[in-house]
């Protein structure tokens, strides 16, 4: 189905889900992945980016290593651009990398800076590229109050009186 995928990442929690999604798709299709990151230039920052070169390298390398651990053939790159250029950079990178599809993450709500995975970037990327754009499922958010720890579950099971459970319908 796909031979080459472009995985566009930002530094939101959606990136982790998108990386896992890309690993699953690439493994299922025996496709290679190119990890791509746009280091946004600060508005009014006179060419100053949000991340240093080392931070960008570490960010892309982390995703590359995770994909490689899943047995995926992977490479990576990063470029600088303004927030208005993000979708263009993604579409251009897909052409340069000869990608068959683009994978983006998804968030339930935009990050404080808009972020790569904001609806505007996804929509603009879809309009700018003739390639299919796959949106990874958004990360699951579980509140601390509702999260169950395994100790709680095992503790409840250990203290339950199993002899009083109804046996109707059991063979």
DSSP-derived 3-state class of residue 10: coil
Contacts of 144 (CB under 8 A, 6+ apart): none
User: Which letter does DSSP use for residue 170 in this model?
Assistant: -
Domains, the chain, ranges and CATH? 4-142 (3.40.50.620)
The per-residue pLDDT of the chain, averaged, comes to 81
pTM: 0.74
53: confidence class by pLDDT, cuts 50, 70, 90: confident
User: Which letter does DSSP use for residue 140 in this model?
Assistant: P
DSSP-derived 3-state class of residue 40: strand
| 104-136 pLDDT per residue, tens | 987 655 444 445 555 588 889 999 999 999 998
Q: Are 117 and 12 in contact (CB under 8 A)?
A: yes
HEC assignment per residue over 146-162? CCCCHHHHHHHHHHCCH
**Can you give the pLDDT at residue 75?**
97
């Amino acid at each position: 189905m796909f031979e080459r995928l472009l995985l566009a990442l930002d530094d939101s929690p959606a990136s982790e889900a998108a990386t896992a999604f890309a690993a699953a798709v690439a493994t299922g299709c025996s496709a290679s992945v190119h990890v791509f990151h746009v280091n946004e230039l600060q508005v009014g920052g006179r060419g100053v980016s949000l991340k240093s070169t080392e931070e960008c390298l570490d960010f892309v390398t982390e995703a590359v290593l995770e994909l490689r651990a899943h047995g995926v053939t992977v490479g990576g790159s990063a470029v600088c651009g303004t927030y208005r250029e993000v979708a263009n950079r993604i579409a251009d990178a897909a052409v340069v990398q000869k990608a068959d599809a683009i994978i983006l993450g998804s968030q339930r709500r935009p990050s404080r800076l808009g972020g790569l995975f904001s609806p505007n970037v996804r929509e603009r990327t879809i309009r700018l590229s003739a390639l299919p754009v796959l949106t990874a499922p958004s990360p699951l958010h579980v509140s601390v109050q509702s999260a169950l720890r395994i100790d709680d579950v095992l503790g409840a099971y250990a203290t339950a009186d199993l002899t009083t459970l109804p046996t109707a319908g059991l063979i």
